[in-house]
Amino acid sequence: MPVDTTPRSATFTFVDGDWVPGNPPLIGPTSHAMWLGSTVFDGARWFDGMSPDLDLHCERVNRSATNMGMSPVMEAKAIEALALEGVKKFDGKTAIYIKPMYWAEHGLPYSVVAPDPESTRFALCLFEAPMHTAKPSSLTVSPYRRPNPEVAMTGAKTGSLYPNSGRMIIEARGRGFDNALARDMNGNVAETASSNIFLAKDGVVMTPVANGTFLAGITRSRIITLLRGAGVEVRECTLTVEDFKAADEIFTTGNYSKIVPVNRLEEQEFQEGPVARKALQLYMDWARAAA
């Protein structure tokens, strides 16, 4: 039975020196990436004529490739320029997701399990993806945990980490929630299944300290900087589920949707609060000024 490879939205991919429309086949059954999971990616956004922190996302995908044992074959500045070139292929009406990717084609001769850095390939995929900023989300506590650096490649934004996130979301959706609060192996909150998380309590903003079990995101860092610059106290610290249940408000940050307020954690309801609104306003003001 033929497989439908038609993308769900307008899509362009730069690979092997050319822009290709749609969803081109990139790897085969003997590719290391298909067989043994040597993939890394990053995700930036273009919307309303701006692409905040695109340079940082391009730099991070190269760090991810290096940490996975691959060799970045594109300079970060070149990836950034290609992304802005690709944006011009769209009509400019819908937000775009910008996804640079590396993968290995072969394993090392002495151990096929390890990727051969000389076989690293690059692609840059852009596709239309509407923003869902400020759309409230509900959370449950996942029974699954984030791995420690000793047992997983947490130092890279790699596709091999995402099946764990996927099962968190599937399990949460099965119980009527949008997403899941993920704990580390010590039982402390790390993030959600797909984004970083913040709470506000008595005017102080707190977020889990980066301990190597989760990706401390670029948007997370940007929000911390902006809030502190606006005079808000922000603490990076060890937080428990009970800390979040006792919060005045909860919100998440991530490149895909920027700021998302949490309106329910388990059976406890929350209102969209002033800190989340302030964070979003600060972010958008900064992004427009930087564009």
pLDDT band at 4 (very low <50, low <70, confident <90, very high): very low
Residue 8 has pLDDT above 90, yes or no: no
Considering the domain architecture, whether residues 242 and 211 belong to the same structural domain is answered as: yes
pLDDT in tens, 27-83: 999 999 999 999 999 999 999 999 999 999 999 999 999 999 999 999 999 999 999
Where residue 291 falls among pLDDT bands split at 50, 70, 90? confident
**Taking residues 147-160, what's their average pLDDT?**
95
pTM: 0.94
Residues 152 and 243 grouped into a single domain: yes
Average of per-residue pLDDT across 222-241: 98
Q: Are residues 176 and 120 in the same domain?
A: no
Which residues touch 83 (CB under 8 Å, ≥6 apart)? 44, 46, 51, 54, 58, 98, 100, 124, 126
Q: Is the pLDDT of residue 187 over 80?
A: yes
In terms of Cβ atoms closer than 10 Å to its own Cβ (0-12, 13-18, 19+), residue 28 is exposed
Residue 213 CB partners (closer than 8 Å, separation 6+): 146, 147, 148, 149, 154, 184, 185, 190
Q: Where are the beta strands (DSSP E) in the chain?
A: 11-15, 18-21, 39-41, 44-46, 96-104, 107-108, 111-115, 120-128, 137-145, 179-183, 189-192, 196-201, 204-208, 234-237, 249-254, 258-265, 268-269
Confidence of residue 207 (pLDDT cuts 50, 70, 90): very high
Q: What is the DSSP letter of 262?
A: E
Pair (57, 143) in one structural domain:
no
What one-character DSSP code corresponds to residue 61? Answer: H
Do 147 and 262 have their domain in common?
yes
Query: What backbone torsions phi and psi does residue 21 show, to the nearest 5 degrees?
Result: -75, 155
Kindly state whether residue 170 falls inside one of the protein's structural domains.
yes
How many domains would you assign to the chain?
A: 2
Among 111, 128, 145, which residue terminates a domain? 128
Is residue 244 domain-resident?
yes
Domain co-membership, 162 together with 215: yes
Token output for 114: 């390890």
Domain final residue, candidates 128, 163, 185: 128
Contact call for residues 14 and 86 (beta carbons, < 8 A): yes
Q: Cα angle vertex 183, ends 259, 62, to 5°?
A: 60
Q: Are residues 104 and 197 in the same domain?
A: no
Dist CA 249 CA 274 (whole Å) = 8
Report pLDDT for 5: 52
pLDDT tens-place string over residues 237-287: 999 999 999 999 999 999 988 999 999 999 999 999 999 999 999 999 999
Q: Do 55 and 102 have their domain in common? A: yes
Token pair listed for 5: 């490879």
Answer yes or no: do 150 and 283 share one domain: yes
Distance, CA of 291 to CA of 53 (rounded, Å)? 10
The overall average pLDDT reported for the chain is 95
Question: What is the predicted pLDDT for the residue at 9?
Answer: 84
CATH of the domain at 158: 3.20.10.10
In a 10 Å sphere around its CB, with 0-12 CB exposed, 13-18 middle and 19+ buried, how is residue 278 labelled? Answer: middle
Q: Are residues 149 and 266 in the same domain?
A: yes
Print the domain residue range for 255: 137-290
Angle, CA of 68, 254 and 173, to the nearest 5°: 95
- In terms of domains, do 146 and 238 share one? yes
3-class secondary-structure state, position 166? helix
* Mean pLDDT in residue range 137-152: 96
What is the C-alpha to C-alpha distance for residues 55 and 5, in angstroms, rounded to an integer? 30
Q: Amino acid identity of 141?
A: V
